[in-house]
Chain A
């Protein structure tokens, strides 16, 4: 077979797939075949490149050209111009928003410049459905190294020394966790991958599984060897069909190549992996609930101890690790604990993957070293706030986390500094908010989510969260009082102290942190009955300026509540009397504003 002259990498992640990247791939195949280039140019469907804002993304190698927002009909142009004649299609290149210059190479984009890709090292680089591409990038070498050169204890020591902490959110040292499970004797142990990613807006685990499933297979085998488990289980939510497919392919291929199954690499080590599907309950990300769900029980947490390391899946010692944590394992084994420690901070070595979302220019998946500041993430990588508006807050850690404000922008991010600032790492969702976001409304959004997801087993979470939700509803609809604010704070503190599992203990965080940082805004809602962001509809008031109103009556005609009437006042220079909105019947639909051609109506 002749050697390929060029590779075309096309994102086949869920995001780009939904903007038609599969059609793009097909067009490439067809047009290349038509031009007789199928033997010269290889087309590869990869995992996520991370820059979802600009998807679908097509990357041409070896000239490292990064095409953004490619449409299926652009394919012919790329082939005819770039592939055949060597001329880059400049309209499809990324445009630097400040200099307005085309940037052809991802290395020179602000979005990628500060990133270090460790967990995402193969995402967007290899074909996730082909184990050979993984092997040629050094896949399964770490497993081989463990099996042939290291004792299980040595493996645990390396991971402990690397300082790797659980990327699911709590940040428990992974090596220590493995050590605890390893020392419990049993006829059967399990290593479990927690792929139940539930935070709204977080999609790093999905992207890793979609882009590089072999790393997870390998890491589970390494973990199994370290703790003495011959069986790995992946708990993955059924609403991740693509990740499930790719993981299944990886497992099958690994079996076929003898990298899973019996007597792996002739070392006598047996290990295999099975999948378990979750129905998508947030609480099942909690390890005891996850284990119960896998056993076929209700997905409800139980008190720890006993920890899963003692009594886990089917009553056997089990160890649960998050996807991103596992993705770090093989590379730590190959490159060593000292190498890992050179990245990140003293107490939180390594990198973290964040899902950037919200009112930010560059939405996407990024991997940055720990210790980076929020300012760097939001303004350099993220490209700042949309439409030139002001930064107000960033929500980290999902429904368990909290809001950080402008005063935290220069905090170096790691597990401990985020907790100290009143939030947490969580699984890495980062929702950026500008001045058009109302803090009590944001708190309500997250609390509604936890109410929905509460399993109902313990009273503080089941009833407490519901009551908090009602109080917030009262506040955002203008019926709240100062007493409600104090009661809300008290109740939040009680739930935090008394709930059974992590879900309940952290559910008041969005409320507490927004109250800490934006107390004024809460007070405004209850005392002035005002929502400065203009989000809380019930607090909004539509007013007609009698000096500007010419009295045409178009607003009244379009008012569904029929609450706009004519006054007696005729403004100087006008012929007709002005209109007025009856506030008691107004439903705040905004139909009057859209219909007023004279700019006489405003929201207050």
Chain B
């Protein structure tokens, strides 16, 4: 490991390391961030929820979206797996069904970033 030789070094190191603690920092204050829950029931896993979650996490990073990804149990929409729930700060959660990689990207770029409607919303009464 290189030595920290100056203030700039220290700051650069912090920036680089910050991502490692991201999950913990975000968990302290999830209400202010985009919260995305991925249903991880047996049906969800079978339909590829794990892979979609990984893809989405990676995409969110690339798009600089501050989001907390959590897993939940089966949401009950086994016909529409993988299912994800997206909660924007201060808004009601929206559930999307049949999310594959393309849909996931669409949700991030359109719904999360621009607030546009995206196909595949499962109507739920909360």
Contact = CB atoms under 8 A, between A and B. Distances in A.
Given A3-B61, A5-B57, A126 B71 contact: no
Contact of B24 (A85, A125, A135): A125
Contacts of B96: none
Contacts of A456: none
Given A86-B39, A133-B21, 16 more contacts: A5-B23, A6-B23, A9-B24, A61-B23, A62-B24, A84-B40, A84-B45, A85-B42, A85-B45, A86-B73, A136-B14, A257-B1, A259-B4, A265-B5, A265-B6, A265-B7
A140 interface: yes
Interface in A120-147: 125-126, 132-133, 135-138, 140-141, 144, 147
A265 B42 contact: no
Interface of A: 2-7, 9, 61-64, 82-87, 125-126, 132-133, 135-138, 140-141, 144, 147-148, 256-259, 265-266
B10 A140 contact: yes
Contacts of B58: 3
A547 B6 CA distance: 87
Nearest to B3: A258
A148 B7 contact: yes
Given A63-B70, A64-B30, A87-B73, A256 B1 contact: yes
A62 B30 contact: yes
B36 to A, nearest CB: 10
Interface string B63-85: 00000111111100000000000
Contact of A62 (B6, B27, B40): B27
B38 interface: yes
A62, A133, A257, A258, most chain B CB atoms within 10 A? A62
Contacts of A125: 24
B10 A144 contact: yes
Nearest to B49: A86
Nearest to B68: A62
B38 A86 contact: yes
Nearest to A254: B4
B121 interface: no
B102 interface: no
B68 A136 contact: no
30 contacts: A5-B57, A5-B69, A6-B23, A6-B71, A7-B23, A7-B24, A9-B24, A61-B23, A62-B26, A62-B68, A62-B70, A82-B71, A85-B40, A85-B42, A85-B45, A85-B73, A86-B37, A86-B41, A87-B73, A132-B17, A133-B20, A135-B10, A135-B17, A136-B18, A136-B21, A147-B7, A256-B1, A257-B1, A265-B5, A266-B5
Contacts of B70: 62-63, 86
A141 B37 CA distance: 35
Contacts of A87: 72-73
B17, B21, B28, B61, most chain A CB atoms within 10 A? B21
A211 to B, nearest CB: 14
A496 B30 CA distance: 53
B19 A3 contact: yes
B53 interface: yes
Nearest to B6: A266
Contacts of B20: 132-133, 136
A85 B13 contact: no
A135 B11 CA distance: 9
A136 B25 CA distance: 10
B54 interface: yes
Contacts of A256: 1, 3
A86 B53 contact: no
Contact of B71 (A9, A85, A141): A85
Contacts of B3: 256-258
A461 B101 CA distance: 76
A136 B40 contact: no
Contact of A136 (B17, B41, B45): B17
Contacts of A61: 23-24, 27
Interface string B108-126: 0000000000000000000
B5, B10, B11, B42, most chain A CB atoms within 10 A? B10
B76 to A, nearest CB: 13
Nearest to A85: B40
A144 B7 CA distance: 6
Nearest to B61: A3
B17 to A, nearest CB: 4
B10 A141 contact: yes
Nearest to B21: A136
Contact of B69 (A62, A144, A265): A62
Contacts of B42: 85
A62 B17 contact: no
A137 B18 CA distance: 7
Nearest to B19: A3
Given A7-B24, A136-B20, A257 B4 contact: yes
Contacts of A138: 14
